Structure 1
Amino acid sequence: MSASIGTLTDHWIDGARATGGNGSIEVVNPADGSVLAEVPRGGAAEIDAAVLAARQAFVSWSRVPVADRAAMVLRIREGIKARHEELARSITAEMGSPITFARSVQIGMPMATSKGVAALAEDFAWSEEIGNSLVVREPVGVVGAITPWNYPLHQVVAKVAPALVAGCTVVLKPSEIAPLTAGALAEIAADAGLPAGVFNVVHGTGPEAGEALAAHPGVDMVSFTGSVGAGRRVQEVAAGTIKRVALELGGKSANIVLDDADLTKAVKVGLGNCFINGGQTCTAWTRLLVPASLHDSVVEQLVAAAAKYTVGDPTDESVRIGPMSSAMQQERVEGYIARGVEEGAELAVGGPGMPDGLADGAYVRPTIFAGVRPDMTIAQEEIFGPVLSVLPYSDVDEAVSIANNTIYGLAGAVFAGSQERGIEVARRMRTGQVDVNGGAFNPLAPFGGYKQSGTGRELGRYGLEEFLEVKSIQL
């Protein structure tokens, strides 16, 4: 696959293609190392131009009726739907997500979230009366959006769709590892009739384009998704102009299996939520907490279940785990696997080295560690690969303590014999969202984290509110 997939590889500023920057950045297919495309390496000058365009467009876009803004988001959604297969294949090529997952989730989620936020517009409390005050909600202004590579379209739409409905304009800095679908979205938005300057895309690296965007005095809010370290830097840079910052960062989510749970379901669903997208998901349940008496039985079931996770060419319809997003990410995951072995965790499945039958590409072996202690590196740090740590516990209090004993608090799960017992444990977990007995993802529910997993919320009404200011008018 090459740049001929039809995605824009220039910047998109004020409704038109734009070049400029300090050279270019290669977009590499992690499955075989081939170069798909190049995007310009934008910096402060390109960010300046995009922010100026967004500020000028904000004056008129913020005054467009809410119903019309919501209708625009739905037209953009239809454009995504029309290019569904092309976009899925682009994501598979640029970051290695298996094609079946790319079609169903990588494209399905942004379609669901955009439809959901557009539907909220009509009944949303844009104004209310409190005593003699009229309280109104107004767009925050120009939004700087900085997004990661693991869900390159969904993470963009999760910010852009509510921002547009709110009446904001946007300057996007997508990940330089997987930037192609952001360019496609710019084309789709223009074809849908979105006015020039309302949505702009500047390619580049975090230290150059990302920091320039976060620091820019013309940006009213920064919405960032990525690592804790990068999020911390965004917050520091944005503090210079006291702008609003929303951060969706990392996770080390625990899946607590209680002694009366359906173990077959807990193992199947739990492993799936660890290995999802090759483990490159911030909400992945990477720690499986089981009663000590059931540890060996659960590990045995996990080993059997893991055998069904085929690894290989992500364009193959039967493959469930593709390559890591890049050679750098492959090296990172390999390092953590080696660290787990060094610290004495029991290797139940996988381990260091390339999967059998694969000689090239950024692949790793799906790995399960048993008998993991809570203080081990693999139980504390986000690996972002298909690596599961199984931790035994003595009682529920210890399980909750282990689950809460990391710097993160993004997601988690509980499997229990009854929903009531599951909810009881879920309430004790210091994390932003918890699935009980495999509860389905809800694109209208608030999404975000506790502790160093971030600030603010995305999706649904809560996500829309992130892009609004509140004004009191006394009458």
Structure 2
Amino acid sequence: MRQYPHLYIDGRWTDPIEPHELELVDPTREEPFARVALGSAADADRAVAAARHAFESFSTTSVDDRIALIDRVIDVYESHIDDFSELIAREVGIPISNRAQVTGPAEHMRVAREILREYPFESRMGSAIVRREPIGVCALISPWNWPVQTGVIKVIYALAAGCTVVAKPSLNSAASGALLAQVLHEAEVPPGVFNLVNGRGREVGDALSHHPNVDMISFTGSTAAGKQVGAAAAGTVKRVCLELGGKSANIVLPDADLERAARWNIQRCFFNAGQSCHAPSRMLVHESQVDQVVPFLADEARRYRLGDPLNIATTMGPVVSAAQFKSIRDHIQSGVEQGGQLVTGGLERPDGLDHGYFVQPTVFTGVTPDMTIAREEVFGPVLAVLPYHDEDEALHIANDSPYGLGGYVFGGDRTHARRVASGLRAGRISFNGAPTDSYTPMGGYKQSGIGRSMGRFGLEEYLEVKSVYGFEDEAQALPTLFG
């Protein structure tokens, strides 16, 4: 049994004020594999005080100093990549073959460093100086489905801006959160600049959301939890950045390469066992072409190799927990009961896997927009294929959702496809499976969130804007804010 008995506050590993622990369950073996310390609202208060004190000096550090700090973090992180890979396989079931989960964070750190190197913290607007200054103490609440990368993106942009941090990872991924704290400790992040308090959302998360000395809160998780965070933060009028749920649609136009669209949709939707907020979990296909795409969908879904995530041959591990396993199966059951047609997958456990939270890659056709699997975020390896009559109906179905995180378009005519992409109400749109770019912003429309992470927009989430007048001569030496 692995032990993570401490919180990380003010540059030191420390015991919680009241000793409490939580057992982490390995989703492959359905048995505990680690114990982590649980903090309380009182521990959150200690961490905020440490971050507030450290902000006085850290906020005045030079860009060069912060670049050097990020370089140290990158070096230490890369020495622990294999440790992270093995740990997240045990705690959340992510296969070690999924290297993007552990190599991606280093790439995001490099991007943040390069943006910081070029970012104009002072600029001219008319005869005034416009300054961007660190917002203050930031509470960062990260999820379990990208347990390292999401936390790293939040932390590294906060540090790049000159902010100090109190981090609270999901309890499902608290062990990898502790390892990330160890990385920052080894990189000699100054005391109080980074703090880690594991704990339950209703206690530690709520305390941070309400705390008068927290200036900004960044939360990634479900829309329901995000609403609670936003409501709690409103009492002290702190800035809120929320990346929440999604039910992304992939519109496959009639002139698309149907095989390419189908195989890509399965690969992207079922990546990470479908536990991705950007997953294209609704595939919209012209009514005359549904029968043509079904064989490709079924074949690609059946190519997944389910099993122990510590086995390099495994391409899909278990879902994260018993609760998630039940929720996904309940959604599959609703799809069957509401008239969906199973192409592949279903409720039964995969062959040869009689324990562990494994869900078969599942594809439904015959789905209508009012069905539960077409409206709710399943957060598992379940794809709903919906027919459409014409382009207007496709856009209506895609946009008829409280979510607006991602969107996808496949087609042959680029001008036509771009027009359709422009009609999607979502924060990130990809054409013909184009990869995303770490320099570009990520975030959602509607109930998929507020604000943006990553790139220049992500850095600016952690900055306040100040206008300074009366220094006309000094302003002339600065770059203009608008071209």
TM-score, structure 2 normalization: 0.96
SS of the residue corresponding to residue 472 of structure 1 reads strand
Please show how residues 138-157 of structure 1 align to structure 2 within 5 Å: 138-157=133-152
How far apart, in 2, do the equivalents of 1:149 and 1:410 lie?
Answer: 18
Q: Is the 8 A contact 2:269 2:383 kept in 1?
A: yes
- Per the TM alignment, residue 36 of structure 1 is displaced from its structure 2 partner at its CA by 2.0
Other structure's SS at 2:250 match = strand
Please tell me whether residue 194 in structure 1 is matched to residue 189 in structure 2. yes
Instruction: Please say if residues 334 and 353 of structure 1, whose CA atoms lie closer than 8 Å, have aligned partners that are also in contact.
Output: no
The residue type paired with residue 331 of structure 2 is Y
Q: Which amino acid letter does the alignment assign opposite residue 2 of structure 2?
A: A
Equivalent residues in 2 for 1:413-432, closer than 5 Å = 413-432=408-427
For 1:351-362, list aligned pairs within 5 A. Answer: 351-362=346-357
Rounded to whole Å, the distance in 1 between the matches of 2:410 and 2:366 is: 20
| CA drift at 1:205 | 0.8
- Structure 2 residue 36 is the aligned partner of structure 1 residue 39: yes
Residue number in structure 1 paired with 2:475: none
Query: Please, which of 67, 71, 74 is the counterpart of residue 68 of structure 2?
Result: 71
Q: Which residue of 1 aligns with 2:11?
A: 15
Greater shift after overlay, 76-85 or 271-280?
76-85
Q: Which structure 2 residues correspond to residues 437-452 of structure 1 after superposition, within 5 A?
A: 437-452=432-447
Alignment of 1:207 with 2:217, yes or no, is: no
For residue 418 of structure 1, report the CA deviation from its aligned partner.
Answer: 2.9
Conserved 8 A contact 2:8-2:14: yes
Question: 2:49 corresponds to which residue?
Answer: 52
Q: SS where residue 290 of structure 1 aligns?
A: strand
Q: CA deviation at 1:415?
A: 0.4
Partner of 2:327: 332
Q: CA RMSD in A?
A: 1.1
String of CA shifts for 1:103-122, please: whole Å, max 9, x gaps. Answer: x2111221111110110112
Question: Structure 2: how far apart are the matches of 1:397 and 1:237?
Answer: 39
Report the equivalent of 2:383.
388
Q: How many angstroms apart in 1 are the aligned matches of 2:237 and 2:161?
A: 21
CA distance in 1, matches of 2:27, 2:430: 32
Distance 2:38 2:185 in 1: 23
- What TM-score, normalized to structure 1? 0.97
**Other-structure match for 1:307:** 302
Between stretches 122-131 and 83-92, larger displacement belongs to 122-131
| Structure 1 position 172, deviation (Å) | 0.4
Deviation at 1:9, TM superposition (A): 4.5
Instruction: After superposition, give the CA deviation of every residue in 1:219-277 in whole Å (9 maximum; x if it has no partner).
Output: 00000000001000000111110100000000000011110001121111111111010
Per-residue CA deviations over 1:359-395 (Å, capped at 9, x if unaligned) read 1111111110001001100000000000000001011
Name the residue aligned to 2:2. 3
Give the AA of the match of 2:12. Answer: A
Partner of 2:121: 126
Structure 1, unaligned runs of 5 or more: none
Task: Write the distance in 2 (CA, Å) between the matches of 1:312 and 1:24.
Answer: 29
Please tell me whether residue 457 in structure 1 is matched to residue 456 in structure 2: no
Q: Which residue of 2 aligns with 1:28?
A: 25
**Does the aligned pair in 1 maintain the 2:404–2:427 contact within 8 Å?**
yes
Match of 1:226 among 221, 227, 238: 221
Aligned residue for 1:325, secondary structure, equals coil
CA distance in 2, matches of 1:280, 1:403: 20
How far 1:131 sits from its partner (Å)? 2.2
Secondary structure at 1:324 match in 2: coil
**Distance between the aligned counterparts of 2:219 and 2:160, measured in 1?**
19
User: Which of 258, 261, 284 in structure 2 is aligned with 1:263?
Assistant: 258
Q: What is the percentage of aligned positions where both structures have the same residue?
A: 45
What do residues 1-56 of structure 1 show as CA deviations (whole Å, max 9, x unaligned)?
x427xxx5521000111122462111111000222211122111100100000001
Give the structure 1 partner of residue 89 of structure 2.
92
Distance 1:258 1:290 in 2: 7
1:25 maps to amino acid: L
Distance 1:433 1:310 in 2: 29
Report SS of the residue matched to 1:177: helix
Query: What is the letter of the counterpart of residue 199 of structure 1?
Result: F
Aligned length: 469
Gaps of 5+ in 2: 471-483
Q: Distance in 1 between matches of 2:166 and 2:435?
A: 32
- Give yes or no for contact 1:291–1:392 (8 Å, CA) kept in 2: yes
> Is contact 1:252-1:410 (8 Å) kept?
yes
SS at match of 2:384: strand
Moved more, 62-71 or 371-380: 62-71
For the residue of structure 1 that corresponds to 2:447, the secondary structure is helix
1:113 partnered with 2:112 = no
Amino acid at match of 2:10: D
Give the corresponding residue for 2:479: none
How big is the shift at 1:353?
Answer: 2.4
Amino acid at match of 1:58: F
* Letter matched to residue 384 of structure 2: S
Report the residue type matching 1:11 in the other structure: L
8 Å contact from structure 2 (residues 251, 409) kept in 1? yes
Inter-partner Cα distance in structure 1 for 2:302 and 2:311: 17
Following TM superposition, the consecutive aligned residue runs of length 4 or more in structure 1 with deviations greater than 6 angstroms are none
Q: CA–CA distance in 1 between the matches of 2:397 and 2:370? A: 9
Partner of 1:296: 291
